Amino acid sequence: MTTQDDDKPALYGRKVLSFVRRSGRLDDRLQRAWDRYADRYLLDAAAGEGSLNVRDDVRFDADFVRNAWGNDNPLIVEIGTGQGENIVAAAAARPDVNFLALEVYDPGVAHTLLLAGKQDLGNIRIAQVNAPELFAHADAGVVGEVWTFFPDPWPKMKHHKRRIVQPELAASVRHALADGGVWRIATDIEDYALHVHEVMDGIAGFENAGGLTVSLPTGHVGKGNAELAADMPHADFAESERFGGRVLTNFEKKGLAAGRTIHDFTYRAV
């Protein structure tokens, strides 16, 4: 397992990952889905068995898309697809668009395989690799949209460096996006919303296309201290209406039931 020692600096000889690799056994249903559908939907992009690194010879370009999907349709990539409910629903609704699900956890990959296979979808593929590495292998303009919905918030202050939305990934996403393409992000964690604004607002190559004004605290809080944010200075930020192409998953329902506000972002490549 590749993890970062919490007591060492962020660059202590290892990559800082936005996840911790956990391998759990698949139940019988998910194992059957994996055995039945992996050859059809799971892309061969990893460096080896059990690895989440991208092979050195992988080039995420137009030929990659053509070989994987058999067409030149626009491509939408979702980073962190969880159980796959959102991307599979989107693929079913938009057969003229190609969809790539990026997920690192075996059960999530298997459940996405199950959902896609049951509907016999032909326009979705799955890659079980570290998303920033795949985008680092991308050609300019190969992707039409990128989605990152409800990423792991890493709530402890010392873990904020693990959050997936970072300047380095933003630069890689911008390179991969066609001009006018968008990176859609959503979170139900107020502190993560501030983090997104700090990384993305004003970053080279993107414009915040949001039309809503949202007030957020201007300081960060860690796990267990969220209530302190209410007494911090606040400022106005631009965010977006809820993205209509995102289905209401069980995860989002739980956030709403807990009284959390959903923050949607649209950053357009310029």
Reported as a single tens digit per residue, the pLDDT across 97-106 is 999 999 999 9
Distance (Å, whole) CA 238 – CA 113: 36
Q: Answer yes or no: is pLDDT of 1 > 50.
A: no
130: annotated binding-site residue? yes
Confirm if 270 and 206 have CB atoms less than 8 A apart.
yes
156: annotated binding-site residue? yes
103: annotated binding-site residue? yes
Q: Which one from 61, 139, 152, 201 is the annotated catalytic residue?
A: 152
Confirm if 176 and 262 have CB atoms less than 8 A apart.
no
Q: Answer yes or no: is pLDDT of 144 > 80.
A: yes
Question: What is the residue-wise DSSP string for 134-160?
Answer: HHHTBPTT-EEEEEEES-----SGGGG
227: annotated binding-site residue? no
**pLDDT at residue 15 in the model:** 61
Q: Answer yes or no: is pLDDT of 243 > 60.
A: yes
pLDDT band at 226 (very low <50, low <70, confident <90, very high): confident
Give the tens place of pLDDT for each residue, 10-69: 332 346 565 455 556 899 999 999 999 999 999 999 999 889 999 999 999 999 999 999
**pLDDT at residue 251 in the model:** 87
Mean pLDDT of 174-191: 97
Active site residue 27: no
**pLDDT at residue 18 in the model:** 52
HSE of 235 in the Cβ direction (CA atoms, 13 Å)?
8
**pLDDT at residue 20 in the model:** 52
Confirm if 103 and 81 have CB atoms less than 8 A apart.
yes
Confirm if 109 and 116 have CB atoms less than 8 A apart.
no
Q: Answer yes or no: is pLDDT of 4 > 50.
A: no
78: annotated binding-site residue? yes
Domain boundaries, the chain: 28-269
CATH number of 28-269: 3.40.50.150
Q: Answer yes or no: is pLDDT of 194 > 70.
A: yes
Q: In which element (H, E) is residue 224 found?
A: none
Residue type, 119: Q
Residue type, 163: R
Q: Which two tokens stand for residue 3?
A: 């993890």
pLDDT band at 121 (very low <50, low <70, confident <90, very high): very high
pLDDT band at 223 (very low <50, low <70, confident <90, very high): confident
Q: Answer yes or no: is pLDDT of 268 > 50.
A: yes
**pLDDT at residue 8 in the model:** 34
254: annotated binding-site residue? no
Among 8-12, 150-154, 172-176, 235-239, where is mean pLDDT lowest?
8-12
* Average pLDDT of every residue of the chain: 91
252: annotated binding-site residue? yes
Q: Answer yes or no: is pLDDT of 143 > 70.
A: yes
User: For the chain, how many helices (H) and strands (E)?
Assistant: 8, 9
Distance (Å, whole) CA 18 – CA 169: 11
Mean pLDDT of 227-250: 94
Distance (Å, whole) CA 63 – CA 58: 11
Q: Which residues pair with 234 in a beta bridge?
A: 217
**pLDDT at residue 25 in the model:** 80
